[in-house]
Amino acid sequence: MIEPKPLRVGMVGYAFMGAAHSHAWRTAPRFFDLPLRPELAAVAGRNADGVRAAAEKMGWASAETDWRALIERDDIDLIDICTPGNTHAEIAIAALEAGKHVLCEKPLANSVAEAERMAAAADAAAARGVYSMCGFSYRRTPALALAKRMVDAGRLGQIRHVRAQYLQDWLSDADAPLTWRLDKAKSGSGSLGDIGAHSIDAAQWITGRNITGVSALLETFVTERPVAGDFVGLGGHGATGADTVRGPVTVDDAAIFTARFEGSGPGGGQTEPGQADSGPIGVFEATRFALGRKNAMRIELNGTLGSLAFDFEDMNALSFYDAADGPDAGFRKIQVTEPEHPYTGSWWPTGHGLGYEHLFTHQVVDLIQAIAGNRPPSPSFADAVQVQKVLAAVETSAESDSRWQKV
């Protein structure tokens, strides 16, 4: 058997997303037969002691304190960007121009202009056989991938409603300290871009239709937070008391918007007699203040022939209502663990569920297969630009008293 050629990876950033990506690069070749063999060549971070410790813990062969060193190295083929959004454009464009493939975490950038520059660089690189992908990892949830397959097959008929929520509660404590995610200069936005972007991408991907307009409301519940104290994981607590130094929160804590999707598209099914297809309508909500909800990424689609519903807190299940079964049938629960379901055949026996980390492994698998096949991976930077345009339209609408804003 011929040993696959290596795909030597350099990763920038080693915190939460860096850990998830590291696990994926290590795990993918152990469960999937891949045309290229990923090698964890180097990880970069600004703190020398921290990045060396991360490299040892997460299995990287070496460490750098400047991302530019990764791009200059001849023994690195792909740059994996796991840093705050304000750094994405500079790193990604430099990597692509240097002939490195790029995997970039979402949202693609902090502005439409930056995202469009990245997409232009990606297009130019693709013409040279250098590819890029944006990390909208929820696309790799087997249940959501099955939902996409069912919509494309016309099982829901013409889509009428899209209902999407992303609910967390890790910022509910007003004394949880400031992090880069609460600084607009670094993160671009709050719950809107951090988690709402996932819902936007999933909705557009599953339906096969882009959002064309929105009416939005953004809210910041806690306008100042403690500067002192280390923030650990997703729920640390800083110092409290009257003399605690507090800094401004410059992003939204919650986002709510209605949306209109474009007319007939791949997910629309056949327009039935007497029914116009002006595009589905949607309702979106994203918050990190929903007490009791830890990672409830939910989406429901209602069509003329049936409905689908998903909640990531029950990530191995997909609920399906088939109108042909009659009103007494109700929703059926599909356990998405069968070998014929997306991705699951490479893992455990039927009924043995997967977890959050598997999304990133599937992302690596799809990316490697695309690169080896000399074809653009998905979601592309252009797909991510469309999400960025929706995020921008939501912010513009919220700033103008929820006025309807075209995307």
Q: What is the pLDDT of residue 46?
A: 95
Q: For residue 289, which of 203, 162, 198, 166 has the smallest C-alpha distance? A: 166
pLDDT interval class at 242 (50, 70, 90) = low
Instruction: Please state the rounded mean pLDDT for residues 294-315.
Output: 98
More confident residue, 144 or 267: 144
* CATH 3.30.360.10 residue spans of the chain: 141-354
What is the per-residue pLDDT for 278? Answer: 86
* Amino acid at the residue 125: A
pLDDT in tens, 28-72: 999 999 999 999 999 999 999 999 999 999 999 999 999 999 999
Question: In the chain, which residues fall in CATH 3.40.50.720?
Answer: 5-135
CA geometry: angle 287, 319, 340, nearest 5 deg: 115
Mean pLDDT value across the chain: 94
Please tell me the number of Cα atoms within 13 Å of 191 on its side-chain side: 29
Question: What is the per-residue pLDDT for 391?
Answer: 98
Convert the pLDDT of each residue in 357-407 to its tens digit: 999 999 999 999 999 999 999 999 999 999 999 999 999 999 999 999 999
Least confident of 132-136, 245-249, 288-292: 245-249
What is the distance between the alpha carbons of residues 13 and 314, in angstroms, rounded to a whole number?
Answer: 29
- Relative orientation angle of helices 48-58 and 16-31, to the nearest 10 degrees: 30
Give pLDDT tens digits for 133-163.
999 999 999 999 999 999 999 999 999 999 9
Q: What pLDDT is attached to residue 231?
A: 37
pLDDT category of residue 275 using cuts at 50, 70 and 90? low
Residue 230: is its pLDDT beyond 50? no
Residue 234 has pLDDT above 60, yes or no: no
> What is the pTM (predicted TM-score) of this model?
0.93
Task: Give the per-residue pLDDT at 328.
Answer: 87
In the predicted model, what is the mean pLDDT of residues 224-249? 62
Check residue 2 and give its pLDDT: 81
Amino acid 233: pLDDT: 34
Mean pLDDT in residue range 310-338? 96
What's the half-sphere exposure (Cβ side, CA atoms, 13 Å) at 90? 9
Q: Which one of 3.40.1390.30, 3.40.50.620, 3.40.50.720, 3.40.50.150 gives the CATH number of domain 5-135?
A: 3.40.50.720
pLDDT at residue number 274: 57
Mean of pLDDT values over 191-203: 98
Q: What is the pLDDT of residue 159?
A: 97
Tell me the C-alpha distance between 139 and 161, whole Å.
Answer: 20
User: Which tops the pLDDT comparison, 349 or 277?
Assistant: 349
Between CA 327 and CA 329, with CA 328 as vertex, the angle to 5 degrees is 95
**What pLDDT, on the 0 to 100 scale, is given for residue 333?**
97
Q: Does 3.40.50.720 match the CATH number of domain 141-354?
A: no
